[in-house]
Structure 1
Amino acid sequence: EGSGSTGLQRVRCRALQDGKEGWATLRGNQGTAFMERAPKPYYCCEEEVRLTLDFASSSEEARRIEPGEVLEVLEGPRQEDPLEFMRLKGKAGKDGKVGWVTMKGPQGTDVLERCKVLLCKQSIAITTTFDIAEGKAIRKLDVGEALEVIEGPKEDPVRSLTRVKARTKNDGKEGWVTLKGNQGTDYAEESDRHYVCRAAVALERRFASGSEALRTLDEGEVLEALDGPKAESKEGSKRVRGRNISDGSEGWFTLSDRNCSPWTPQYKCTQSTVINDALSIKDAKAVRKLEVGEVLEALETPVLEKGAGLLRIRVRAEKDGACGWATVRGNQGTVMLKPVLAGGGRGSAQ
């Protein structure tokens, strides 16, 4: 509304970034425009996104957002405080792969727990019974293999051996192992450099969290510490409060260049593709071919066709009103349709 005394155009508004409400000047008394009309911001999920109940990324999960689902921005983006992670370099007991692991999960729960194990110093058999003469060999233990103590140690006075009942960490075999031979040879020794995984966790190539994953360590696997723990500081995540336009569910999600892209209900064809009469590409018939540059109106939000790995959307062609399903992104990542965004931002089909 206009202010007669100052000649300013003023509007009462709410900032999406932090929810603050108040009055702002649209146009000054010399005609200077301080604001311009902008479309309501939406984001389309490119990959599975975790929707949480509160601002903190470690807060309780509300639900998972699937690729293709669209979120209306209610608040944000807001930056979280810098985060600190404890990282440990270790060697996996199962296959010897070396990499870095984050020691706590997103909710602050311990992923790694220090454990005392026995390490095999010289190759020796694990047997079925305490009495080495009566038992049968289960298999040979490898040098460096980790064992969990179940019972003992116990002395065998007849043969002057120290024996322990143990479980192998590699394959869960249980049996008896000689710790010290009758000539004083140590076959296994206690180690406090090992950790057991309390939950599945990524073993990553470099110190920086989020680097290339070598593989996932399974719950119960043992990791030998080689370096650390060391603290890694990272910039806080950009967090957005959104509403899923499909079911109305609300919550906070982390915004990155990889997981979400700006969305509007208008698309432009950037790679020649086809409008089909059904969602499933396998069963669909072609309505007609779409030409590069054609403009399309979205009739629904995108859907991931899991069987084919395609992101699909139901559209209406501006040129002739033809309706049907078209592929937004192929299973190799090729983009067929791009949202038409004001200002030429990321994802814009200018």
Structure 2
Amino acid sequence: ALIDVFPVTTSKPQRKLDTREVVEVLEGPVRDTLTKVTRVKCRAVRDNVEGWATVSSNLGTVFLREGKPSFKVVKETILTEEFQLEAEEKKEGEEEKKEEGKKLKLGEVLTVIEWPRKEEKSGLVRMKAKVKSDGSTGWVTTMGNQGTVFAEMLP
């Protein structure tokens, strides 16, 4: 979870962090001498919520770890030239416009160029990436606006 202030005794939860969610460290790590846990101040990449997150417990359980800048496609999607998608303009029930782009297949490995961030108009979480197999670059949806995961970070 992300909490609003460092001392856990006076903090309020901001929101939960999802498994494999990407956060950007802003400060720390800092050891809490009272609870004997290590925390970092961070920003959740998908929605820019900031707060303190526990890196490891006083018993050594690891909650956050440094990630590799690689993702794997887990549901077919497309690589586009622009961050914003044209299809976002469609109304519910209308057929989606055909978006120009390279089709990314299940299992393709992507290297992060720009970390995933939410496209406000559509609600999609997108990142700029390089496709390992052919070196092409562009924007890819990592999470749909209903929570569907298209690409996830490799361990």
Which structure 2 residues correspond to residues 52-131 of structure 1 after superposition, within 5 A?
52=5, 54-56=6-8, 58=10, 70-72=23-25, 74-75=28-29
Distance 1:261 1:275 in 2: 29
Task: Say whether residues 1:329 and 2:143 are aligned partners.
Answer: yes
> Paired residue for 1:64?
none
- 1:243 is displaced (CA, Å) by 5.2
Q: Which SS does the other structure have where 1:331 is aligned?
A: coil
Sort the Cα spacing of 1:320 and 1:78 in 2 relative to 1 into closer, same or farther, 3 A: farther
Task: Say whether residues 1:305 and 2:122 are aligned partners.
Answer: no
Sort the Cα spacing of 1:278 and 1:243 in 2 relative to 1 into closer, same or farther, 3 A: same
> Paired residue for 1:170?
none
RMSD: 4.0
Give percent identity, aligned residues only. Answer: 23
Distance 2:82 2:9 in 1: 38
Unaligned runs of 5+ residues in structure 1 are: 1-46, 61-67, 82-237, 342-350
Sort the Cα spacing of 1:306 and 1:58 in 2 relative to 1 into closer, same or farther, 3 A: farther
- How many corresponding residue pairs? 126
Task: Say whether residues 1:274 and 2:88 are aligned partners.
Answer: no
Sort the Cα spacing of 1:338 and 1:281 in 2 relative to 1 into closer, same or farther, 3 A: same
Unaligned runs of 5+ residues in structure 2 are: 13-20, 56-62, 89-98
What amino acid is aligned across from residue 75 of structure 1 in structure 2? P
- Deviation digits for residues 46-98 of structure 1 (CA, Å, limit 9, x no counterpart): x9x5553x3336359xxxxxxx87323832686976xxxxxxxxxxxxxxxxx
Of 94, 103, 116, the match for 1:289: 103
TM-score normalised according to structure 1 size: 0.30
- 1:252 is displaced (CA, Å) by 5.3
Sort the Cα spacing of 1:239 and 1:310 in 2 relative to 1 into closer, same or farther, 3 A: farther
Contact 1:278–1:324, Cα closer than 8 Å, also in 2: yes
Q: Which SS does the other structure have where 2:10 is aligned?
A: coil
> Paired residue for 1:265?
69
What amino acid is aligned across from residue 28 of structure 2 in structure 1? L
TM-score normalised according to structure 2 size: 0.61
What amino acid is aligned across from residue 74 of structure 1 in structure 2? G
Which structure has the higher relative contact order (CA within 8 Å, separation 6+)? 2
Distance 1:80 1:304 in 2: 36
Distance 2:126 2:138 in 1: 10
Q: Which SS does the other structure have where 2:8 is aligned?
A: coil
Which of the two has higher C-alpha Rg? 1
> Paired residue for 2:59?
none
Sort the Cα spacing of 1:75 and 1:243 in 2 relative to 1 into closer, same or farther, 3 A: same
Distance 2:135 2:105 in 1: 14
Sort the Cα spacing of 1:79 and 1:276 in 2 relative to 1 into closer, same or farther, 3 A: farther
Distance 1:303 1:243 in 2: 14
- 1:276 is displaced (CA, Å) by 0.9
Sort the Cα spacing of 1:327 and 1:255 in 2 relative to 1 into closer, same or farther, 3 A: farther
> Paired residue for 1:240?
39
Sort the Cα spacing of 1:323 and 1:255 in 2 relative to 1 into closer, same or farther, 3 A: same
> Paired residue for 2:91?
none
Sort the Cα spacing of 1:261 and 1:59 in 2 relative to 1 into closer, same or farther, 3 A: closer
